[in-house]
């Protein structure tokens, strides 16, 4: 089939620039060329999903992945509807992180037919609070230092950083990273409300997995969660997998931050697979009944798909359009460094399209106009 052939997807509706439009979608080559065409079939066409926090997928742990693993993970993500993603690198010795960043640079530039596009790397560490490190290696945590970070990244593959703002010199690192255009996130932290405000004033724009690895909200010390929910310039990231957040937390975020929440998976290698033994960085992780934990019982990422998180958000009270926006245009806007038209479906835009059924289950996926199952 040549690029000049116009193909229709056979869907009944499409989410076009965030609104529902009745009718079918046509693609030509790598672009969407028309929407609202009569005579469509069934299903809802939406932009390809965008996941900003992926540790691994399809049996592959990204920080230790070789070339074949990277390709397998990207293909598995695409099969589940994610057409663009950020690789999340957990806290590791600097040499391990440096080697992983070299892989990110290679695969960011490598187009793989039928595979999700790699937007870059997010560093979740090493500048985290030991008391809230979670599954991250405490012996690999470090004091924030601009010079060290500048030497570590030595390129343009990093797009995001999670940091605990109460650490010494953290604000200097936040200002430096934000100045480079990175998405700076407050997370794995013991910070006070005042310290959270200082981080956001310095250039942080979001929080990593709201409600997890941070202090509980109290009457006189609301902490980073309450600050993020009440500041209009901060976007909150939610892991809506039915495990990381109670339903009430999700509903609170939806009510307090309308239009300021996005969905992430924090997926680890078991995502797209089943129960069993896996790795997250250098940690052994056991997945039992769909919950990933290390030997100490600490949550070790999720096994959720982003489409599954959309369904869970809807179950907790979000509208379908709100939940879909939080997995498409929302993360694209938050990241800022992605390609034009990331996370949107419109004529002239990229043919990264997912067709969902009436239960929001993935039925078909196109990456750059090519059907994933046809590659």
Which residues are catalytically annotated?
266
Count of Cβ atoms closer than 10 Å to residue 18 Cβ: 17
Question: What's the CA gap between 296 and 167, in Å, rounded?
Answer: 25
CA dist 179 and 172 (Å) reads 11
Within 13 Å of residue 140, how many CA atoms lie on the same side as its CB? 20
Cα 201 to Cα 81, 94, 150: the distances in Å are: 35, 29, 22
CB-side neighbour CA atoms (13 Å) of 5: 7
Q: Indicate the DSSP class of residue 85.
A: E
Backbone angles phi, psi at 311, to 5 degrees: -60, -40
Token pair for 2: 């040549």
Say what angle helices 306-315 and 247-256 make with each other, to 10 degrees. Answer: 80
CB contact set of 267 (below 8 Å; sequence gap of 6+) = 51, 53, 54, 55, 56, 57, 301, 302, 303, 304, 305
Strand partners, 56: 61
């Amino acid at each position: 089939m040549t690029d000049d052939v116009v193909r229709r997807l056979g869907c009944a509706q499409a989410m076009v620039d965030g609104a529902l439009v009745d009718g079918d979608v046509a693609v030509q080559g790598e672009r969407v060329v028309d929407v609202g065409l009569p005579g469509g079939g069934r299903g809802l066409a939406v932009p390809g999903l965008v996941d900003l926090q992926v540790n691994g997928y399809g049996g592959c742990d990204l920080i230790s992945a070789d070339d074949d693993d990277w390709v397998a993970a990207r293909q598995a993500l695409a099969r589940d509807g994610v057409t663009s993603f950020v690789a999340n690198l957990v806290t590791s010795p600097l040499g391990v992180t440096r080697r992983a960043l070299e892989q990110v640079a290679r695969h960011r530039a490598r187009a793989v037919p039928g595979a999700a596009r790699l937007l870059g790397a997010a560093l979740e560490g090493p500048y985290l609070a030991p008391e809230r490190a979670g599954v991250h290696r405490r012996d690999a945590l470090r004091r924030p230092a601009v010079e060290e970070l500048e030497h570590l990244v030595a390129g343009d593959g990093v797009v995001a950083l999670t940091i605990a703002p109460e650490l010494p010199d953290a604000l200097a690192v936040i200002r430096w990273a934000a100045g480079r255009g990175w998405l700076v996130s407050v997370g794995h932290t013991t910070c006070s409300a005042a310290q959270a405000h200082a981080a956001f004033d310095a250039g942080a724009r979001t929080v990593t997995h709201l409600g997890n690895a941070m202090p509980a909200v109290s009457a006189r010390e609301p902490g980073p969660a309450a600050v993020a929910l009440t500041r209009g310039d901060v976007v909150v990231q939610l892991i809506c997998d039915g495990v990381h957040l109670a339903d009430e937390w999700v509903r609170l975020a939806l009510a307090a931050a309308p239009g300021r929440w996005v969905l992430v998976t924090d997926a680890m290698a078991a995502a797209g697979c089943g129960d069993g033994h896996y790795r997250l960085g250098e940690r052994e992780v056991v997945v039992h009944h769909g919950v990933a934990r290390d030997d100490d019982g600490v949550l070790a990422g999720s096994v959720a798909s982003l489409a599954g998180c959309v369904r869970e958000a809807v179950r907790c009270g979000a509208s379908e359009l709100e939940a879909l926006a939080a997995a498409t245009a929302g993360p694209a806007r938050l990241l800022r460094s992605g390609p034009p038209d990331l996370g949107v479906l419109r004529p002239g835009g990229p043919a990264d399209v997912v067709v969902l059924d009436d239960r929001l289950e993935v039925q078909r996926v196109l990456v750059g106009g090519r059907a994933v199952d046809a590659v």
